[in-house]
Amino acid sequence: MAFGVSRHSVAGIIGTLAFFGAWEALSRSGLVNNVMLPAPTTIVQSAWELLMTGELPRHLGASLLRAAIGFLGGSVLGVALGVAMAQSPLLHGTINPLVQMFRAVPSLAFVPLAIFWFGIGETSKIFLIAWGVFFPVWVNTYIGVRDVSPLLGRAAASLGARGWRNFVYVVIPGALPFIIAGLRVSLSVALVVLVAAELAGAAFGVGYLIQMSQQVFRVDQMFVGLIVLGGMGFAADLLFERAIRRLLPWYGAEQVGQRGSQIEQASGRLVTK
């Protein structure tokens, strides 16, 4: 696979090189202002400088830490409340209207409020990320636990599963495909909210780097920020997938399409309910 060069991958390499070549030529030609559109080589050079001065690692570190804490907090709460609501109809009845109400508001709209409440420090950013992450995880966990296959439930019951053992060995693993789907969506949500929160006010972070670069006309550094964000999203998704494949070898191996459409159907049902 790695060494088998297909026609498609050759075409992809040629296309990419042509794109960056044209960009480089355009920036150097004088047809456009090269402050507004710095050449790729200039961007690489700025990236190297930012890396060497330690500035980029510091911004990246700050962003990663926020994203990680926010993601962790939001997912733990989402899973916990999703499980609790699926297990207790009373709890579900009590707080479902509230959660649905908050879910309907785009999480980015809370940025100004969070800054007003918590300032531009870490608290507001972690809160916003956790807030954004919470909803997809909660919805999926709730559906996953509620709709655990009744057939597997019967199989488990006829093997003597009940109480906490049934919950730990059947309900939670049965809901995992849904929970994982929710976590995966949340991963990209976390990145979006992170950047929005950092753009709105921060002292460190990749979003802050982009914002600050704009104010000093360093378009090249803005591009560095964009590339770093792209790399973060890509790496997060890749690591997530690797971790899932290693920890849960059965996940996605069976009826991928079927399960996908099942999740979509389930989401549809939740909305109509």
Contact footprint for other proteins (CB under 8 A): 151-152, 154-162, 165-166, 169-170, 173-174, 176, 248-251, 253-254
Nearer to other proteins, 30 or 249 (CB): 249
State the minimum distance, in angstroms, from the CB of residue 147 to other proteins.
15
State the Cα–Cα distance between residues 133 and 217, nearest whole angstrom. Answer: 33
C-beta atoms surrounding 145 within 10 Å: 22
Q: Which is nearer to other proteins, 25 or 243 (CB)?
A: 243
Is the Cβ of residue 13 or residue 247 nearer to other proteins in the bound state? 247
CB 151, min distance to other proteins, A: 5
Residue 3's alpha-carbon distances to 6, 9, 14, in angstroms, are: 9, 11, 17
How is residue 27 written in tokens?
């920036």
Tell which residue, 149, 147, 129, has the closest CA to residue 77. Answer: 129
Min CB(266)–other proteins separation in Å: 17
Closer of 97 and 160 to other proteins (Cβ)? 160
* Rounded distance between C-alpha atoms, residue 163 and residue 188, angstroms: 36
Q: How far is the CB of 43 from other proteins (least distance, A)?
A: 45
| H-helix segments, 88-171 | 89-104, 111-118, 122-146, 150-158, 163-166
Cβ proximity to other proteins: between 28 and 245 the closer is 245
Q: How many angstroms separate the Cα of 136 from the Cα of each of 88, 117, 174?
A: 20, 24, 18
Nearest distance from C-beta of residue 260 to other proteins, angstroms: 15
Q: How far apart are CA 60 and CA 28, in angstroms?
A: 30
- Residue 116 CB, nearest distance to other proteins (Å)? 45
Taking residue 132's Cβ as centre, other Cβ atoms within 10 Å add up to 26
Q: Which residue lies nearer to other proteins by CB, 182 or 225?
A: 182
- What gap in Å lies between CA 61 and CA 57, rounded to an integer? 6
